[in-house]
A and B are shown apart, each in its own frame.
Chain A
Amino acid sequence: MEKKRAYSLNFIIGAVITGVMLVLILTGFIHTPYDITKMDSTAKLAAPSLEHLMGCDNFGRDIFSRVLKGMGNTFTIAVATVAIGAVCGVLIGAFTGYFGGWLDEVLMRINDVVFAFPSILLALVFVSIFGTGKYNVVAALGIAFIPSFARIVRGEFIKYKDMDYVKSARLAGVPKLRIIFVHILPNTMPVLMSSIMIGFNNAVLAEAGMSYLGIGVQPPDASLGSMLSESQTYLFSAPWYAAFPGLMIILMVLGFSLLADGNTKRV
């Protein structure tokens, strides 16, 4: 008989927030109330109303539509970043952890070098070489995210590789790759899931930061970070312009933090 596991309050709140966010993001992909680049000169810096739920920006563009689109951009960039980081990190961590030896030494020292740079700085260097834009930011942040995953997975593999069940698998003549990916990898899932969620948060913040600095998503496309940076001039005349994108960043990060937290507690 399977007992149903009780979820913590944190986990439930996190799930609700994340769920609402995902619904908003999906809506943004399919339909926005206004075209995000359409300017309405009569509605410059308009206050929130039924017509414009979150008001309008300095060009008279609907902030709600832009927030929806911006969340979508931030989300896809964060997901892509974490995907690159997690896949490469798992591969590197698994091989170095399982085999050890000189391969481990070499890759981990490279890892340390990458890890030593703050991810924003690394991304700045990358962008200054390859140019601005969504895809370059994804690549830059993705590379910066590899070391943290690689380390965690490597540690887990070192822990599991000498367990008796791995020995008996080896003894049953199971090929190495199968041992790594079928026998050991599922055991690292709880830890890996938590770090993916935490990594996602960092990616959201990093993307917002890069767009804020103007090297991420390029105007007129919307991103939560770039909206924040555009809005700071109007912080006192139109506070809603800054408040809503900021709130969305907070909610996205908070939702995933709570989910990750609830997830670690269940393990």
Chain B
Amino acid sequence: MLLEVKKLSIEFHDHDVPERVVNKLDMELEAGDILGIVGESGSGKSMTAMAIAGLLRRHDMKTEGEILFEGEELLHAKRDTLRQYQGNDISIVFQEPMTSLNPVKRIGWQVEESLRIHRPDMSKDERYRRAIEVLTDVELENPEIVYKKYPHELSGGMRQRVMIASAMICEPKLLIADEPTTALDVTIQLQIVKLLQRLNREKHTAILFISHDLSLVKRLCSKIVVMHNGNMVETGTTEEIFHNPKMDYTKELLRAIPRLEKIVF
């Protein structure tokens, strides 16, 4: 088992009344698998992702439960232990490609950053070759030119590919994709999903795909977790969820998928 989340609860304590955003969540992810987390805005799916990525270490926040990555507890681990995994075995792609790249640094520099941290013995040339390799992997044309560009010179879809490239550069075992397609238009969404699929197949990277777009989740994921108000509503294989949903909320979500035949001209 690559990732096990056991009874994860997340509470905000920055107001008088604690606010519970994730409530006793359980989930599992096998190596090389793709798990989808779906739910509406505010259902706690991004919070779960952040917790797994180790980004929820704030004093106004209380976390309970366990997050086991290859058997190692990460939720309450020491920062140094956590840093060994971050960027190396676990990496993340954010929703907004416009803000997730540093505007004053060249693409190449940003893609290589993880290597500088986790493979300090690599030489400059090796880093450059590796960066070009991943930029090619994410199907960017002219990687040598992209390498030298600044983020504002790229389109949204290209930036998201760059983000995936920099997430993949250390060949992580787990890639967390936090609504990676939400800010992109539909044709690009599909390309990104296909890209993730291919990377999963070729590199055996497990993917935690967070989305509110059920049609994309259906295309990509083998298992699905449905979340609502911080609770896990239902979980199962994609087949089960789509063809035999048990809970009312899941049925509602499925009904909300726009279908072509419903459009009246």
Contacts and interface: CB of A to CB of B under 8 A. Distances in A.
Interface of A: 101, 163-165, 167-175, 183, 186-187, 189
B104 to A, nearest CB: 4
Contacts of B190: none
A62 to B, nearest CB: 48
Q: Which of B91, B102, B113, B114 has the most CB of A within 10 A?
A: B102
Contacts of A173: 82-88, 114, 117-118
B101 interface: yes
6 A-B pairs with the lowest CB-CB distances in the bound complex, closest first: A172-B87, A164-B100, A173-B86, A173-B83, A173-B87, A165-B102
B92 A171 contact: yes
Q: Which of A167, A173, A175, A187 gathers the greatest number of chain B CB atoms within 10 Å?
A: A173
Name the prevailing secondary structure of the A interface residues: helix
A267 to B, nearest CB: 12
Interface string B92-125: 1010100111111100001001100110000000
A165 B101 CA distance: 5
Contacts of A101: 59
A164 B99 contact: yes
A225 B102 CA distance: 45
Most buried by B among A101, A170, A189: A170
A236 B117 CA distance: 69
A54 to B, nearest CB: 45
A170 to B, nearest CB: 7
B114 A187 contact: no
B91 A172 contact: yes
B100 A171 contact: no
B113 A167 contact: no
Contacts of B110: 165
A76 B209 CA distance: 58
Nearest to B85: A173
Contact of B55 (A171, A175, A183, A189): A171
A164 B94 contact: yes
B196 interface: no
A165 B109 CA distance: 13
A172 B96 CA distance: 17
A215 B173 CA distance: 67
Given A164-B94, A164-B96, A171 B87 contact: yes
A73 B99 CA distance: 45
A172 B113 contact: yes
B102 A167 contact: no
Contact of A189 (B102, B104, B163): B104
Contacts of B104: 186-187, 189
Contacts of B55: 167, 170-171
B22 interface: no
Contacts of A172: 86-87, 91, 113-114, 117, 166
A85 B105 CA distance: 27
Contacts of B87: 171-174
7 contacts: A165-B100, A171-B53, A171-B86, A173-B88, A174-B87, A175-B83, A187-B102
B54 interface: yes
Contact of B92 (A168, A174, A183, A186): A168
Given A167-B55, A173-B85, A186-B104, 14 more contacts: A164-B94, A165-B100, A165-B102, A168-B92, A170-B55, A170-B86, A171-B90, A171-B91, A172-B113, A172-B114, A173-B114, A187-B102, A187-B104, A189-B104
A168 B100 contact: yes
Contacts of A170: 55, 86
Contacts of A165: 99-103, 110
Contact of A167 (B84, B90, B94): B94
Contacts of B85: 173
Contacts of B88: 173
Nearest to B57: A170
A171 B52 CA distance: 11
A37 B105 CA distance: 52
Max chain A Cβ within 10 angstroms of own Cβ: one of B55, B86, B90, B104: B104
Nearest to A165: B102
Contact of A186 (B59, B84, B100, B105): B105
Contacts of A168: 92, 94, 100, 163, 166
Interface in B30-86: 53-55, 59, 82-86
Contacts of B100: 164-165, 167-168
A48 B3 CA distance: 85
Contacts of B113: 169, 172, 174
